């Protein structure tokens, strides 16, 4: 195990005391990642009882080796006792051979031909949300970009994929935020933990009801597909379907919501880029790729070793927890030129780590890029002005998920 070093403030040249649970680190983790890559690329984190891994090549290697670096503990490590469906591991927390079988079923919903079929709906959903904002706040003024737009948009898209009625979509965002914040449970008191527990139970109860409705009255939606599809001659159990639905909600909502929120934050910080993108919407895809690289929605994921291993010269015991820092890999100096610079014109030579790598590579990567592109096209077409009111960003209280928690903006309709 590497020695723990007490350290000073970021930027003083000394070693940083990287603790993902520390609010200072959660607010601005990137200086810590620089330090980790440089001097402690594999570091023991006592607060989380896990090894942080910070360099691109090490992360790439371990994510592609699903046998030695198991995903089996991903969900339990992330959510602990706040997993809405603890009886059944979700896809993201499964190992071979079960993982591949289930992934083949889930993949049906995410192939490009299916996703492209949703494109027109994404434009409609984004336009309807903006109609609501204008109806509520007028042709110019202020609104919360997170709570009134980015939180509602992906949830509506995922709800349509799953066949969920959209009336309760705003509640979803609360549940997902709460359940994901269980990653910080070690730092929370009883009141906050009770709130997380309540949200996990509400999410489960919602999908239990929906399952029963769909089982009695099958439709064309994904939930109905999960209920009826057979794997090796057997249909999925109720809990397996519930687990998949919760994963898609958690995986598909918060991430894309955060990508859109962070994009506006970065545009505000890089005014020259903002002006170029407003004038030329063809720059939206490279803009999104750079936001995904520079400030990705998923900062860290989880694995466990199934054998003793050595990474970057550090011996790690069988059964230890590993936390590959995807956001650090995306700024690895050996892979990206001037990685700390936000540059939408950069030539990206290696795959970004933002959606993971290997057997668990994000199933929603194509959908979320398509969704985010449609949303930004609509936002920039409908508003002549949309800018965050403050320079300060209130980031989510999470070391795992990254995005603004709230984002008040000033706007003017075209």
Q: Is the peptide bond before 97 cis (omega within 30 degrees of 0)?
A: yes
User: How near is the Cβ of 109 to ligand HEM at its closest, in Å?
Assistant: 8
Query: Is 71 an interacting residue with respect to ligand HEM (CB under 6 A)?
Result: yes
Nearer to ligand HEM, 251 or 404 (CB): 251
Q: What is the C-alpha to C-alpha distance for residues 52 and 18, in angstroms, rounded to an integer?
A: 10
User: How near is the Cβ of 106 to ligand HEM at its closest, in Å?
Assistant: 6
User: How near is the Cβ of 353 to ligand HEM at its closest, in Å?
Assistant: 8
Give per-residue burial for 119-156: e unless 16+ CB within 10 Å, then b.
eeebeebbeebbeebbeeeeeeeebbbbbbbbbbbbbb
Choices 14-22, 213-221, 275-283, 293-301 (CB under 6 A): range interacting with ligand HEM: 293-301
User: Residues 28, 20: contact at Cβ < 8 Å?
Assistant: no
What mask, x for binding ligand HEM by CB under 6 A, covers residues 172 to 211?
----------------------------------------
User: How near is the Cβ of 152 to ligand HEM at its closest, in Å?
Assistant: 15
Query: Is 91 an interacting residue with respect to ligand HEM (CB under 6 A)?
Result: yes
Choices 136-144, 203-211, 222-230, 349-357 (CB under 6 A): range interacting with ligand HEM: 349-357
Interaction residues for ligand HEM, span 148-167 (CB under 6 A)? 158
Q: What is the C-alpha to C-alpha distance for residues 114 and 116, in angstroms, rounded to an integer?
A: 6
Q: What is the C-alpha to C-alpha distance for residues 152 and 171, in angstroms, rounded to an integer?
A: 10
Query: Is 92 an interacting residue with respect to ligand HEM (CB under 6 A)?
Result: yes
Query: Is 368 an interacting residue with respect to ligand HEM (CB under 6 A)?
Result: yes
Give per-residue burial for 392-412: e unless 16+ CB within 10 Å, then b.
ebebbbbbbbbbbeebbbebe
Interaction residues for ligand HEM, span 229-288 (CB under 6 A)? 247-248, 251-252, 255-256, 259
* Structural tokens at position 210: 């929906």
Pick from 367, 370, 386, 409 the residue near ligand HEM by CB under 6 A: 367
DSSP conformation letters of 154-216 = HHHHHHHHHT--GGGHHHHHHHHHHHHGGGGGGG--HHHHHHHHHHHHHHHHHHHHHHHHHHH
Query: Is 404 an interacting residue with respect to ligand HEM (CB under 6 A)?
Result: no
Q: What is the C-alpha to C-alpha distance for residues 412 and 389, in angstroms, rounded to an integer?
A: 13
Pick from 43, 169, 202, 360 the residue near ligand HEM by CB under 6 A: 360
User: How near is the Cβ of 298 to ligand HEM at its closest, in Å?
Assistant: 4
Query: Is 363 an interacting residue with respect to ligand HEM (CB under 6 A)?
Result: yes
User: How near is the Cβ of 259 to ligand HEM at its closest, in Å?
Assistant: 4
The beta-strand segments (E) located in 236-349 are 303-305, 309-311, 314-316, 321-324
Nearer to ligand HEM, 16 or 335 (CB): 335
User: How near is the Cβ of 128 to ligand HEM at its closest, in Å?
Assistant: 19
Query: Is 298 an interacting residue with respect to ligand HEM (CB under 6 A)?
Result: yes
User: Residues 182, 80: contact at Cβ < 8 Å?
Assistant: yes
User: How near is the Cβ of 11 to ligand HEM at its closest, in Å?
Assistant: 28
Query: Is 364 an interacting residue with respect to ligand HEM (CB under 6 A)?
Result: yes
Residues 6+ away with beta carbon under 8 Å from 35: 10, 15, 16, 18
User: How near is the Cβ of 164 to ligand HEM at its closest, in Å?
Assistant: 12
Query: Is 74 an interacting residue with respect to ligand HEM (CB under 6 A)?
Result: yes
> How big is the CA angle at 384 (ends 380 and 386), to the nearest 5 degrees?
70
**What are the residues binding ligand HEM (CB under 6 A)?**
63, 71, 74, 91-92, 103, 106, 158, 247-248, 251-252, 255-256, 259, 296-298, 301, 326, 354-356, 360, 362-364, 367-368
């Amino acid at each position: 195990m590497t020695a723990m070093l007490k350290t000073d403030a970021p930027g003083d040249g000394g070693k940083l005391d990287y603790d993902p649970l520390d609010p200072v680190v959660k607010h601005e983790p990137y200086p810590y990642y620089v330090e980790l890559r440089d001097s402690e690329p594999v570091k023991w984190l006592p607060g989380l009882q896990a090894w942080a891994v910070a360099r691109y090549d090490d992360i790439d290697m371990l994510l592609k080796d699903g046998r030695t670096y198991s995903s089996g503990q991903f969900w339990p490590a992330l959510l602990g006792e706040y997993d809405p469906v603890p009886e059944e591991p979700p896809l993201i927390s499964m190992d071979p051979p079960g993982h591949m079988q289930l992934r083949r079923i889930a993949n049906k919903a995410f192939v490009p031909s299916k996703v492209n079929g949703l494109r027109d709906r994404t434009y409609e959903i984004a336009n309807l949300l903006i109609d609501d904002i204008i109806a509520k706040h007028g042709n110019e003024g202020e609104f919360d970009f997170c709570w009134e737009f980015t939180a509602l948009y992906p949830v509506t898209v995922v709800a349509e994929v799953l066949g969920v009625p959209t009336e309760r979509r705003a509640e979803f965002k609360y549940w997902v935020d709460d359940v994901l914040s269980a990653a910080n449970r070690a730092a929370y008191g009883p009141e906050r933990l009770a709130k997380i527990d309540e949200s996990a139970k509400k999410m489960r109860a919602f999908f239990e009801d929906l399952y029963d409705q769909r089982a009695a009255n099958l439709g064309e939606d994904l939930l109905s597909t999960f209920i009826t599809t057979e794997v090796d001659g057997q249909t999925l159990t109720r809990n397996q379907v519930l687990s998949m639905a919760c994963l898609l909600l958690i995986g598909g909502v918060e991430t894309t919501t955060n990508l859109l929120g962070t994009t506006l934050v970065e545009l505000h910080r890089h005014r020259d880029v903002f002006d170029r993108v407003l004038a030329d919407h063809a720059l939206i895809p490279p803009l999104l790729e750079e936001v995904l690289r520079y400030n990705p929605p998923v900062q860290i994921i989880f694995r466990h070793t199934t054998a003793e291993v050595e990474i970057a010269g550090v011996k790690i015991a069988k059964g230890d927890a590993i936390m590959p820092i995807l956001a650090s890999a995306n700024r690895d100096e050996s892979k990206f030129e001037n990685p700390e610079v936000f540059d939408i014109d950069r030539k990206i030579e290696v795959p970004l780590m933002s959606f993971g790598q290997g057997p668990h590579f994000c199933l929603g990567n194509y959908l979320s890029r398509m969704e985010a592109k449609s949303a930004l096209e609509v936002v920039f077409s409908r508003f002549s002005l949309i800018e965050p009111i403050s320079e300060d960003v209130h980031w989510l209280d999470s070391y795992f998920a990254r995005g603004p928690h709230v984002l008040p903006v000033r706007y003017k309709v075209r």
